[in-house]
Every structure is written in structure tokens, then in C-alpha cells.
Amino acid sequence: MHKSEISASMMCSDLIDLKETIRIFEEEGIEFLHIDMMDGNFVPNFGLGVDYVRGLRKLTQIPLDIHLMVKDPEYKFQWIGIQSSDTVSIHYESTFQVQRALDYLEPFGCKRFLAINPATPVSALEEVLEYIDGINLLMVNPGFAGQKIVPSTMRKAQKVANLLKREGKDNIIIEVDGNITPENARKLRAIGASRFVAGTSAIFKGELNEYKQNIITFRNNIE
């Protein structure tokens, strides 16, 4: 099984405390900063933008886990300033040409993940396993933080793990995103997930001075 990793959802962070939040994350060894980019079209919300990403890179060397919830993402990669240390997730549902979009990502040297919504069947992954480094399994319908997990996605996570085992693709990372509480994370870790998007249900709870203990508690549930 892959080493467990935390991807902190920056959409849930308070801009006023951003520098101090990043300092805590660096001290606690947070592996990724999760960046939700939303266009108001593919999902009914607007998210973090390219200027936010540029500013964040000046604050820290923590790699970015960029989640593109945008329509036709393959035509927008050049805007973002993708680096080879980044992970970039595109949605299966966001483009008619999934394989082409994944091909367009290859020159950036980043890890390529394919995200799927709760209602998208696991079979959608079968024809693109050769193109991806990971699967971003949405446990809620994307667009807004603070939602409750879609119950069927727990069974779906097991289906994804079974697919990867059957196809001999254990090298592919399973990332889970949406209402990843410590309890849900523990269950998903047992299934085979290894990257956990942690937001208001996990590390951004309470006051800033509580984040460190929140991270410790969360990590204890995924190791």
C-alpha cells in the first residue's frame, strides 16, 4: 500500500491567517496543498485562481495538488503555471476527450490524476488506466465545502480498489476528496486510499491554534 499523505484543502483556509497556516503545515509535514479551481460552469461555484497559486508558491515549497473543476481543462493548462512537483486532477466528466486532455498534461511532468464524481461509474476508469498516476474519488458532489459524504461512495472506493488490483495497477494512487473526517479517512485507508483531502471536516476545525492537534489526530487515523 502507498504511504499515506495529507492534501490540505486551501479553499477552507482563512486568508488572514494564511502565512501562519502554512508555517504549521510545514512543521507538521503536510505533503500537499489542495487547490480547488472552479469556473462557475462545470460546478456552480468559483474557486481559487491562478493569481492565488502564484502567491502561494512564494510562501512555500509544499507541492500543489491542483483539482481542476473546469470545463474543457485541456485548453487552460498553460494559464496555471503547472510545475513538475504538482499533481493535477482533471474530471472525467469535464471533457469529451479525456485521453487527449491527459496527453496534454504530459509535457508538464506533473502527476496526472483523473477525478470522478459520485454518480460516475467506476467502469469509466478502465480505458484510461495507462494514462494516469492516480484517481481522485469525489465523495461529495463537487463545488462546495462542508457537504456530507454520499454514502454510496464508500462502496465505490472498494470497487476502485478492486479494479486496480484486478488490472495489476497497484501503482495508481487513490485520492479521496469530500467530507474526509478522521473516521471516514480511517475506513478509506483500510480500503486502499492513500491521499486524503483534508478540509473543514478534518484540519480546518476550530481556531488556528487547534490546527496542529487536528493534523496529529487525522494522521493517526491514516497511518
Is the distance from CB of 81 to CB of 106 less than 8 angstroms?
no
How many CB atoms are located within 10 Å of the residue 47 CB? 20
- Assign 168 to helix, strand or coil: coil
Q: Is residue 36 among the annotated active site residues?
A: yes
Is the distance from CB of 210 to CB of 21 less than 8 angstroms?
no
Taking each helix axis as running N to C, give the angle between helix 211-222 and helix 182-191, from 0 to 180 degrees, rounded to the nearest 10: 30
Catalytic residue among 39, 65, 86, 177: 177
Is the distance from CB of 167 to CB of 159 less than 8 angstroms?
no
Catalytic residue among 36, 39, 65, 86: 36
* List of long-range contacts for 102-106, beta carbons under 8 Å, 24+ apart: 102/128, 102/131, 102/132, 103/131, 104/74, 104/77, 105/74, 105/77
Report the distance separating Cα 127 and Cα 195, nearest Å. Answer: 22
Name the E strands within the chain: 5-9, 32-38, 64-69, 87-91, 111-116, 134-138, 173-177, 195-198
- Grid coordinates in use for 53? 497559486
Q: Is residue 72 among the annotated active site residues?
A: no
Indicate which residues carry an active-site annotation.
36, 177
